[in-house]
């Protein structure tokens, strides 16, 4: 498994942990459960997977190509989701003259982050999955 794959699995794990934490806390803490988004800060440890080790290639040109394509895909999805919620869902739920609650605006920042990291990680794993099986 390459460093990029490990990082992708790590990202998905952190996101799953964050969503589970929020889901568990909501019944007892209400909106305070949104503090669970703080777990996303652990994503910042991802670069540790790319530490240089002597005599070992951590990230080569194919990995970079896969990473670039994955980020492009993730931002495209994020843009579609953001536009859909900003332009359609918010107006249909709160009305064109309504007001979006502050906690939703706050959460949308973290949800956007989750969408980008999750889509990017899934795209990375799918691209590696489409690659060749181990040979000789």
Q: Please say whether the beta carbons of 70 and 131 come within 8 A.
A: no
- Scanning 41-49, 76-84, 115-123, 125-133 for contacts with another protein by CB under 8 A, the matching segment is 125-133
Give the Å distances, CA to CA, from 23 to 33, 34, 37, 101, 105: 8, 9, 11, 20, 19
CB of 57 to another protein, least distance (A): 5
Closer to another protein at the Cβ: 27 or 135?
135
CA 19, 118, 122, 46 torsion: positive or negative? negative
From the list 122, 120, 101, the residue with the least C-alpha distance to 34 is 101
Per-residue binding letters, 46-75, with another protein (x by CB under 8 A): ---------x-x--xxxxxxx--x------
Q: What CA–CA distance (Å, rounded) separates 74 from 21?
A: 24
Q: Is 41 helix (H, G, I), strand (E, B) or coil?
A: helix
Number of residues that bind another protein (CB under 8 A): 20
Q: What CA–CA distance (Å, rounded) separates 50 from 116?
A: 20
Per-residue binding letters, 12-51, with another protein (x by CB under 8 A): ----------------------------------------
CB of 62 to another protein, least distance (A): 4
CB of 122 to another protein, least distance (A): 16
Residues that bind another protein (CB under 8 A): 2, 55, 57, 60-66, 69, 127-128, 130-136
């Amino acid at each position: 498994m390459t460093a990029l794959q490990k990082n992708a699995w790590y990202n998905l794990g952190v996101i799953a942990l964050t969503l589970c934490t929020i889901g568990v806390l909501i019944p007892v803490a209400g909106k305070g459960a949104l503090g669970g988004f703080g777990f996303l800060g652990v994503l910042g440890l991802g670069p540790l997977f790319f530490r240089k080790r002597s005599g070992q290639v951590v990230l080569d040109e194919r990995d970079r190509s896969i990473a670039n394509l994955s980020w492009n895909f993730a931002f495209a999805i994020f843009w579609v989701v953001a536009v859909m919620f900003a332009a359609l869902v918010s107006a249909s739920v709160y009305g064109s003259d309504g007001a979006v609650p502050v906690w939703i605006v706050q959460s949308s920042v973290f949800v956007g982050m989750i969408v980008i990291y999750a889509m990017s990680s899934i795209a990375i794993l799918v691209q590696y999955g489409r690659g060749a099986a181990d040979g000789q």
